[in-house]
Amino acid sequence: AQSVTQLGSHVSVSEGALVLLRCNYSSSVPPYLFWYVQYPNQGLQLLLKYTSAATLVKGINGFEAEFKKSETSFHLTKPSAHMSDAAEYFCAVSGGDMRFGAGTRLTVKP
Amino acid sequence: ETGVTQTPRHLVMGMTNKKSLKCEQHLGHNAMYWYKQSAKKPLELMFVYNFKEQTENNSVPSRFSPECPNSSHLFLHLHTLQPEDSALYLCASSPSGTSGIPSTDTQYFGPGTRLTVL
């Protein structure tokens, strides 16, 4: 069985600051890992996906995530936050059975 | 229309009403999903259809009844709902589905239907 834990239901950063959203996973098989973003009144949109090809995965909008097997982590980062990054972010794991985390709401202060 | 569309976007219904949610995908995918999104909780997978066949029912109450007439359309029929069923219902699709379990492919989501049960 797979599961994910997102640390922090709410993260607030200043515009231009580093964004770090944490995700830890549990999987009995080599996992596929995803980060999705949800803007207000919209569905989820894929940011990036890890499929074992490379441990550092680059996604859209300047986001990237690093797969660390020893730490069972897949944290999402962006060097410089923009106001438009304010949204809810979901980590998900799939070893054939997709499981989502509870989400982290990112607020960006001007 | 492109991507995954859902109608209606908002729905208010009484506990004795019968209504249906509609999802349509224009991506040529073979797998479709219904999720329930409640505040402060992880997305809950409700149903999975793969090549029009239901492959997963995640212990969903019978007051929710899915229908998949073809690989592009997915419905969720609602009857005698409870106030705790109020949530955002999301539809998703993916290119292919492994029999019996959700695919590891990327899922593409619709905007959701915001359901309020009075």
Query: Distance between CA atoms of B98 and B92, rounded to whole angstroms?
Result: 15
Arithmetic mean of pLDDT over chain A: 92
Q: Is any Cβ of chain B less than 8 angstroms from the Cβ of A86?
A: no
CA distance readout (Å), B32 to A76, B90, B100, B112: 27, 11, 13, 14
**B98 contacts A100? CB cut-off 8 A:** no
Supply the pLDDT for residue A2. 82
Under 8 Å CB-to-CB from B27, ≥6 apart: which residues? B3, B4, B93, B95, B108
**pLDDT-derived band at B102, boundaries 50, 70, 90:** low
Cβ contacts below 8 Å, chain A against chain B, sum to 50
Yes or no: say if B115 and B89 are a contact pair by the CB < 8 Å rule: yes
- The pLDDT of B23-33, averaged and rounded, is 93
